[in-house]
Amino acid sequence: MKPWEEHLHPLPVPLPPVHGEVLGCYLHRLAEANGTTPGRLAQCISPHARVYFTLRTDPLRRWTPAALPRLSIMTGIPVETLNRSLPAFTHLAARENGTSPRRGHAHYDLHVTCRHCMKSRGISGPVLAHRGPAARLCLKHAIWLDGYCHYYVGHIDGVVSAQRRHIRLARRFPDTITAATKEAVKLTRSWLVAGYQPALARRWHQRAEALPKQEARYPSLLRYRYDERESIVTYPEFVSILGILADPRWRALRIHRTSGIAFERHQETIDAIYTEAERRLSIHTLREMPDARHAFRNDPLFRWTDARGRGRFDTPE
Ligand SMILES: [Zn+2]
């Protein structure tokens, strides 16, 4: 008889999963508490389970739906609770019944959960979990979670309130939030890297100065594309811009690459979008370029508004 067919006994030390936890991480915690290996536990609940299970292992290729009730017997935790807490099983069920196998970049939404929240639950090691589209920090402890280093940001101007606005935006614009988030990250980063928006650069510099020097770091667990300090200092403005970019009413005004409409006919739209951005950012100089190297047509908000951007101008301004 194979391990996944044997009669199962509950583990001596059952542990509840953390909400959104990666299955590999949960099995590691269970195995450690019970003196076994994650691979051994996995093989007891499903055929085709890997022997080697990393903390990040989450897609359950070739696993069978019987794994969930078996994990429930093993841990004594109801199937519904496991199903709600461990996204791996939601994906497994979706694959089984052929609905919405939304295969995104599985690892880009992972984060290490807040160590203070875990401590209050008696968990000492880092826990890997999937986060919602708008989650960037622990609101209870004001700890930034989207990066290698978990900075305390409670004293930094506008960051905690931006998280609340961000969550509201994700609820309000569920269909556009993913695309708009990518666009807003790119746009804010362009302003940061080019450094030609002096009012923004001043704010971002002040926030960077306020960041704590030493905080908990988890460099080996995850891969991030950007330095989290850049994301933190620009976060309030990122959310303000996201409020425009995710709103279908503003998105509908964008000029697409294929449209043959002359720039002059869209001057009004471009003005309206900049006026709105200036209002939301409380900065009235977004359209002012400091020198010839930074033409208005290269401004990232202009390029968002008008996808043909640079190509619309035949002669230098
Ligand atoms: Zn917390």
Residue-wise pLDDT for 172-208, tens only, equals 999 999 999 999 999 999 999 988 788 999 999 999 9
Specify whether 233 is located in the same domain as 292: no
Answer whether residue 97 shows pLDDT above 90: no
Specify whether 139 is located in the same domain as 193: yes
Q: What is the pTM of this model?
A: 0.86
The pLDDT tens digits of the residues spanning 282-315 come to 999 888 877 766 677 788 999 899 877 655 554 4
User: 145 C-alpha to center of ligand 1: Å?
Assistant: 9
Helix (H) or strand (E) holding 130: strand 128-130
Domain-embedded: residue 186 = yes
The pLDDT tens digits of the residues spanning 57-85 come to 887 777 888 889 999 999 999 999 999 99
Q: What does the radius of gyration of the chain's CA atoms come to, in whole angstroms?
A: 24
Residues with Cβ within 5 Å of ion ligand 1?
Answer: 114, 116-117, 138, 140-141
Specify whether 64 is located in the same domain as 114: no
The tokens describing 316, both together, are 């230098």
Alpha carbon separation from 308 to 115, 137, 181 (Å, rounded):
46, 36, 21
User: What percent of the chain clears pLDDT 90, i.e. is strictly above it?
Assistant: 56
Domain-embedded: residue 235 = yes
Structural domain harbouring 67: 23-96
User: 236 C-alpha to center of ligand 1: Å?
Assistant: 20
Contact 141, 114 (CB under 8 A): yes
Domain-embedded: residue 115 = yes
Angle, helix 177-194 to helix 228-245, in steps of 10 degrees: 120
User: 138 C-alpha to center of ligand 1: Å?
Assistant: 5
Specify whether 90 is located in the same domain as 192: no
Torsional sign, CA 23, 26, 30, 33: positive
Q: What's the pLDDT band for 220 if we cut at 50, 70, 90?
A: confident
Answer whether residue 101 shows pLDDT above 60: no
User: 161 C-alpha to center of ligand 1: Å?
Assistant: 16
